[in-house]
Amino acid sequence: MSLEMRQVPLAEGLLVLPAARAQEKSSGDHTAGSGPYVFQIVSFKWDHVQEPYIIALWILVASLAKIVFHLSHKVTRVVPESALLIVLGLFLGGIVWAADHIASFTLTPNVFFFYLLPPIVLDAGYFMPNKLFFGNLGTILLYAVIGTVWNAATTGMSLYGVYLSGIMGQLDIGLLDFLLFGSLIAAVDPVAVLAVFEEVHVNEVLFIIVFGESLLNDAVTVVLYNVFDSFVAMGADNVTGVDCVKGIVSFFVVSLGGTFVGIVFAFLLSLVTRFTKHVRIIEPGFVFVISYLSYLTAEMLSLSAILAITFCGVCCQKYVKANICDQSSTTVRYTMKMLASGSETIIFMFLGISAVNPDIWTWNTAFILLTLVFISVYRVIGVVIQTWVLNHYRVVQLEIIDQVVMSYGGLRGAVAFALVALLDEKKVKEKNLFVSTTIIVVFFTVIFQGLTIKPLVQWLKVKKSEHREPKLNEKLHGRAFDHILSAVEDISGQIGHNYLRDKWSNFDRKILSKVLMRRSAQKSRDQILNIFHELNLKDAISYVAEGERRGSLAFIRSSSTDNMVNVDFSTPRPSTVEASVSCLLREKASSVCLDMQALEQRRKSIRDTEDTVTHHTLQQYLYKPRQEHIHLYSRHEIIQNEDEKQDKEIFHRTMRKRLESFKSTKLGINQPKKLNKSHKRDRGQKRRNSNAIPNGKIPSENPVPDFTLKEKGIDNPAFSADDDQSIYMKFPPWLTDEDSVVPSQRARVQLPYSPNNFRRLTPFRLSNKSVDSFLLADGPEERPRAFLPETTHM
Amino acid sequence: RHAAATPHSLAGALEQGKPQTPLPDGSSRTGLKRLESQTQPLGKYDLQGIGELAVNPLGDRIINAFFKEGEDLTDFRSFIRVLAHFRPVEEGKSNETGRPEPMNSRLRKLQFAFQLYDQDSDGKISRDEMLQVLRLMVGIQVTDEQLVCIAERTIQEADQDGDGAISFEEFSVEKLNVEQRMSLRLLK
């Protein structure tokens, strides 16, 4: 038989083979080892690969769908991606149903909770803006805990009340069932919320509150769900007061326990990454494995797994980023984003697919409609009341528009669906009704509310702004105001203090960082922040010391009127400003409408071509203020790199100017001309990666990988050329006044343009290992005074 | 020597090597109060040490706005006076001519912004000063010739009395929405 098989041509053979194999298999089953085993060149082993193949196929389909959606920018601007995916899922589900008449693919709770949810939550935790988060923690906790309990209780009870009135018809439900349903439908969903909020740029406080709430309310949801689930299982009659008390206690245990597990694993993770210097390649693996273990451990101990993995991410951020090398850091970030984004896509698609399952559909108009009404209404009431209470304690108040966004942005998502799918039919008789209602609620919030929230926000914000095309002046000054505002914010932020934060800072610096961060990272972190100080202070000290060593230095300060602090205009002007001022909506939060204006302007025709060019140039090249270019969190993008260039340029310029201003203040202004030409070259070569430094929030992130000091060659001719010309204009005029400083004769001649000085300022040499650059910086930085003798022999 | 004045920044954060969290977080009223009780002056170096300011195009100018000409230290009162410019304007307050102009009125805010441009304090923004500001705020891709062009057009647009410079009146005529853009929520 085998010989005959081999002689058959391959194509026919392929067609024949499955049948032959099937036959053979069945015959093999009956008579084990009875006939000779036939050798097959190729065979079609579908069963063998079925499971992983289908999984891979679905992932591929979801990803392809994303590509297709983003082909049309118009569509994605209006419709949130999550809505599109759900629709796609419905469509695909329809196809599967039509083909097979069984719902073979659904979002099973196990898959969801074990594989799809952890990456999303880990991503949220790892990229969480910590300062903002902990700064607003009180507010977040209030909304998460009290808000969720309020929503659950009121929704459950109202539904029960309505049921009692008979509108819903005959159902096999008790009060506890309603409360159970209320608890799982009440929670705002982290997956859905973020998917929508990414499109809508809101101010950072609002964002962090909603985002934080969606993450932290898991503890409450888990507790409530479990409590009511077991109550339902026990039967309504057997529930005693003790059980209720136990329920309340379990809330604290679950939430605090989950957090504790997360923190422990974060500690472990940071500790491990401290020692991975020689196994760089698998560094990223540790992050994922250990975080996942924290999730599973909490799940195992029936604690809140979401809280565990969130806090694992939140706490380990800083140390892991300091410890692992750059490439690993990039790998971790990209992988996390990829997993999170992919998970989210799959979740929404499967939500759609799972809905196409007529077996579970039970329609009860009253129930569904009332659920929708109740969750919206009670959320609004809850938000309003809590905000009113909170505003008494907060410095930064939450305004009406914030409350609107918070209430409207409370979306329900896949977590609710997974929880409802977990219900036991035997205990909860009306499970199908619950499932159907949940699906409808989720679809409604994600699609309808997701679609309309952006226009709503825009309408609210743009109400007061003007729509005519801004003039050059307005654009320029407007941008200047933005810069001024962010500068003042930063200043006031730096000056403020917080006792707890100080304590934590101290603790962190003295103990934690020593344990958890690599030694080299510790050193570099200190170094980065000292740079600023030392650049200015040590320079000043050294120059003054230098000058005084050389001879008399008479400082004659300019005696111009002090009009820096108190504006003092010589001629009083009558106030021509209109009295009524409307500032309901703060400009700060209005990055939404900037796109609109820019677009509008481009569309309108401008007659003067020079005007066009000017406008266009300004539009393109004006530096962006911080509010515009910092996005706090995005599941689908890694945000950092876009404005590095801008930061670098500005930083470079600023440092140069400060240096000049110091030198000119101390030692006279005639030197700059000579100085400029000679040190411009040096300066032009030094590019600084300002990524690390201005990111005062996490100073140890990315310890300055790009410092370079090239030798005398000109690195960037375009840049140095620019320097030479514009340096004269850039020189701060208030320092160029002739009578400001009178240097001594000797000092003027021997002004220490010394390569050493400048090298000291940028002692960072190119090195493959980012951290090592700071080890090199050790020598020169430590003894500034020791330099001075060197500089004299000019 | 003031230069040797140790950086006893009252933002002791810099000493500890870690900048503190920004105020707008709803929980640090005490911070400002503590600031008030400090008797040590605030130095220019402390402000220059703030990382975010180094990547703000107008950072240095704004720092200098907090200090008197040529000095590097300021005390709490003066600091707060400057900061007061940024209080949001209260709605509905009529402009009583009897009382002195409040620090955060539209006029004051405009004056603050104006003086940032007008470095030599002659009451006008000359072409050079405009050029300087533009140079600060624009990327390096823009050449100087283009900048000169832009500066001239800007001045042309705003200049009404034809003196080739922008005076304060011309500046304040612009519909600049300064009340919103130069207000810190925090200071309400």
Q: What is the pLDDT of residues A162-181, one digit of tens each?
A: 888 887 777 778 888 899 99
- CB contact at 8 A, A739 and A554: no
Taking an 8 Å cut-off on Cβ atoms, the answer to whether B115 and A646 are in contact is: no
d(C-alpha A448, C-alpha A518), whole Å? 49
From residue A189, give the alpha-carbon distance in Å to each of A110, A186, A214.
18, 9, 5
Q: What is the mean pLDDT of residues A295-306?
A: 93
Mean pLDDT of B109-134: 83
How many interface pairs between A and B have CB atoms less than 8 angstroms apart? 384
| pLDDT higher than threshold 90 for residue A154 | yes
Question: Is residue B37 over pLDDT 60?
Answer: no
Measure in Å the smallest separation between the Cα of B148 and chain A Cα atoms.
11
Judged by a CB distance cut-off of 8 A, whether residue B183 touches chain A is yes
Task: Look at residue B16 and tell me whether its pLDDT is greater than 60.
Answer: no
Q: Residue A678: its pLDDT value, please?
A: 38
Taking each helix axis from N to C end, the angle separating A46-71 and A81-100, rounded to the nearest 10 degrees, works out to 140
Strand partners, A742: A554
User: Quick one: pLDDT at residue A665?
Assistant: 67
Q: Rounded to the nearest 10 degrees, how much is the dihedral formed by the CA atoms of A174, A177, A179, A182?
A: -130
What residues of B are in contact with residue A132 (Cβ under 8 Å)?
A: 21, 25
Residues of B within 8 A of A719 (CB-CB) are 140
pLDDT at position A9, please? Answer: 45
Residue A454 DSSP one-character state: H
Query: What is the pLDDT, as a whole number, of residue B3?
Result: 30
| Lowest-pLDDT choice from A554-563, A741-750, A765-774, B43-52 | A554-563
Instruction: Report the C-alpha gap between A430 and A428 in whole angstroms.
Output: 6
Q: Which residues of A touch B119 (CB under 8 A)?
A: 732-734
Which of A397, A494, A589, A488 is CA-nearest to residue B104? Answer: A488
Question: Which helix (H) or strand (E) covers residue B124, if one does?
Answer: strand B124-125
Contact B142, A726 (CB under 8 A): no
Say how far apart CA A241 and CA A248 lie, in whole Å.
Answer: 11
Percent of all residues in chain B with a pLDDT value above 70, rounded to a whole number: 60
The pLDDT of residue B103: 61
pLDDT value, residue A738: 37
| Segment 22-41 of chain B within 8 Å of chain A by CB | 22-32, 34-35
Whether chain A has a CB inside 8 Å of the CB on B68: the answer is yes
Is residue A535 within 8 Å of A655, Cβ to Cβ? yes
Assigned token pair, B66: 């907090």
Partner residue facing A484 (CB), from B16, B116, B142: B116
Q: Using H for helix, E for strand and C for coil, what is the string for A610-671? A: HHHHHHHHHHHHECCCHHHHCCCCCCCCCCHHHHHHHHHHHHHHHHHHHHHHHHHHHHCCHH
The string of DSSP codes covering A122-184 is: HHHHHT--HHHHHHTHHHHHIIIIIIHHHHHHHHHHHHHHHHHTTTT-S----HHHHHHHHHH
Q: Is the pLDDT reported for residue A593 higher than 70?
A: no
Predicted confidence band at A753 (pLDDT cuts at 50, 70, 90)?
Answer: very low
**C-beta atoms of B88 and A466 within 8 A:** no
Mean pLDDT, range A539-564, rounded to an integer? 44
Residue with the two structure tokens 């298999």: A25
Task: Say which residues have a Cβ less than 8 Å from residue A239's Cβ, sequence separation at least 6.
Answer: A176, A231
- Which of A236-245, A429-438, B24-33, B55-64 is the most confident on average? A429-438
pLDDT confidence of residue A571: 31
Q: Given a cut of 90, is residue A385 above it in pLDDT? A: yes
Classify B92 in phi/psi space as left (phi over 0), alpha (psi -120 to 50) or beta.
left
**pLDDT band at residue A547, thresholds of 50, 70 and 90?**
low
pLDDT bin (cut points 50, 70, 90) of residue A640 is low
- Lowest-pLDDT range, A297-311, A534-548, A638-652? A534-548
pLDDT tops 90 at residue A261: yes
Mean pLDDT across chain B: 67
Q: What mean pLDDT is reported for chain A?
A: 70
Give the helix ranges, DSSP H, for chain B. 13-16, 29-37, 44-48, 51-54, 59-66, 76-83, 106-117, 127-137, 144-158, 168-173, 178-181
Residue A298 token pair: 């909490």
B166 DSSP 8-state letter = E
Q: How far is B123 from chain A (nearest CA, A)?
A: 8
Structure tokens at A720: 């140095």
Residue A669 has pLDDT above 50, yes or no: no
Higher per-residue pLDDT: A240 or B27: A240
> What residue in B sits closest to A720 (Cα-Cα)?
B140
User: Touching check for A557 and chain B: CB below 8 Å?
Assistant: yes
> How many angstroms away from the CA of A150 is the closest CA of chain B?
24
What's the CA angle centered on A299, arms A213 and A245, to 5 degrees?
A: 70
How long, in residues, is chain B?
188
- Substitution target in B8, B15, B34, B58 with the highest count of A β-carbons within 10 Å is B58
Indicate if the pLDDT at residue A227 is higher than 80.
yes
- In this prediction, residue A70 has a pLDDT band, given cuts at 50, 70 and 90, of confident
Name every chain A residue with its beta carbon within 8 A of the beta carbon of B25: 131-132, 135-136, 205, 395-396
Query: A22-26, A260-264, A320-324, A593-597: lowest mean pLDDT where?
Result: A593-597
Q: How far apart are CA B43 and CA B8, in angstroms?
A: 8
Q: Do A483 and B74 touch (CB under 8 A)?
A: no
Phi, psi (rounded to 5 degrees) for B73: -130, 150
Residue A617 and residue B150: Cβ atoms within 8 Å?
yes
Give yes or no for B77 touching A (CB within 8 A): no
Instruction: Report the DSSP pairing between strands B166-167 and B42-43.
Output: unpaired
Residue A677 pLDDT > 80 = no
pLDDT of residue A314: 92
**Shortest alpha-carbon distance between residue A510 and chain B (Å):** 10
Q: How big is the CA angle at A466 (ends A464 and A470), to the nearest 5 degrees?
A: 145
A234 or B179: which leads in pLDDT: A234
pLDDT at A293: 96
DSSP-derived pairing of the beta strands B73-74 and B124-125: unpaired
Which one of B28, B58, B106 has the shortest CB-CB distance to A480?
A: B58
Most confidently modeled range among A406-415, A452-461, A745-754, B97-106: A406-415
The band of A673, judged by pLDDT with boundaries at 50, 70 and 90, is very low
**Residue A146 pLDDT > 80, yes or no?**
yes
Residues 113-152 of B with CB under 8 A from A: 113, 115-117, 119-121, 123, 128-129, 131-144, 146, 149-150
Do the Cβ atoms of A327 and A96 come closer than 8 Å? no
- Nearest C-alpha in A relative to B23: A493
Residue A529 contacts B, CB cutoff 8 Å: yes
Residue B21 DSSP one-character state: P
Q: Across the interface, do A573 and B169 touch by the CB < 8 Å criterion?
A: yes
Contacts of residue B144 in chain A, CB cutoff 8 Å? 722, 725-726
Contact list, A561 vs chain B (CB under 8 Å): 69, 121
Mutate to test the interface with A, among B23, B91, B114, B148 (most CBs of A within 10 A): B23
One-letter amino acid identity for A288? F
What's the rounded Cα separation, in Å, for the pair A146 and A632? 26
All residues at 6 or more sequence positions from A121 whose CB lies less than 8 Å from its CB, including other chains: A190, A215, A295, A306, A309, A310, A313
Q: pLDDT, tens digit, for every residue of A466-520?
A: 445 667 777 788 788 878 877 777 777 665 556 677 777 788 878 887 788 877 7
Q: Does A504 touch chain B (CB under 8 A)?
A: no
Q: Does B76 touch chain A (CB under 8 A)?
A: no
Q: What is the pLDDT of residues A86-140, one digit of tens each?
A: 999 998 888 888 887 766 777 888 889 999 999 999 998 998 888 888 888 888 9
For the packed helices A190-197 and A204-234, what is the interaxial angle rounded to 10 degrees?
A: 160
Both structure tokens of A777: 């910086």
Using the predicted structure, report yes or no on whether residue A269 has a pLDDT greater than 90: yes
Q: Is A468 on the interface with B (CB under 8 A)?
A: no
Q: Helix or strand or coil: residue B91?
A: coil
Structure token digits, residue A133: 């988060």
Distance CA A758, CA A781 (A): 12
In chain A, residues with a C-beta closer than 8 Å to the C-beta of B151 are none
What pLDDT does A118 receive?
A: 94
Determine the Cα angle at A728 with ends A725 and A729, to 5°.
95
pLDDT at A398: 82
Under a CB-based contact definition with an 8 Å cutoff, are residues B24 and A493 in contact? yes
Out of A483, A580, A617, closest to residue B58 by CB:
A483
Q: Mean pLDDT across the stretch B75-102?
A: 66
CA distance to partner chain B, nearest, from residue A492 (Å)? 7
Q: Which of A150-159, A274-283, A669-678 has the lowest mean pLDDT?
A: A669-678
Rounded to an integer, the average pLDDT of B156-161 is 80
Contact (CB, 8 A) for A344 and A788: no
Which of A558, A565, A581 is opposite residue B106, by nearest beta carbon?
A581
pLDDT (0 to 100) of residue A33: 46
B-chain residues near A567 (CB < 8 A): 108, 111-112, 115
Predicted confidence at residue A295, as pLDDT, reads: 95
Q: Which residues contact A744 (CB under 8 A, 6 or more apart)?
A: A547, A550, A551, A552, A553, A554
**CB contact A477 to B (< 8 Å):** yes
Q: Are A310 and A125 in contact (CB under 8 A)?
A: yes
How far apart, in whole angstroms, are the C-alpha atoms of residue A184 and residue A179?
9
Q: Do the beta carbons of residue A165 and residue A400 sit within 8 Å? A: no
Partner-chain contact A583 B65, CB within 8 Å: no
* Between residues A313 and B177, the one the model is more confident about: A313
Which among B21, B112, B188 has CB closest to A498?
B21
Q: pLDDT tier at A773 (50, 70, 90 boundaries)?
A: very low
Answer whether B45 sits within 8 Å of A536, measured CB to CB: yes
- Over residues A582-609, the mean pLDDT reads 38
Nearest to A332 by CA among A277, A281, A270, A284: A284
- Contact assignment for B16 to A205 by CB distance below 8 Å: no
CB contact under 8 A, B3 and A562: no
- Asked if B66 and A565 come within 8 Å (Cβ–Cβ), the reply is yes
Beta strand B124-125 with B166-167 is antiparallel
Q: Note the pTM of the prediction, 2 decimals.
A: 0.63
Strand partners of residue B42: B74
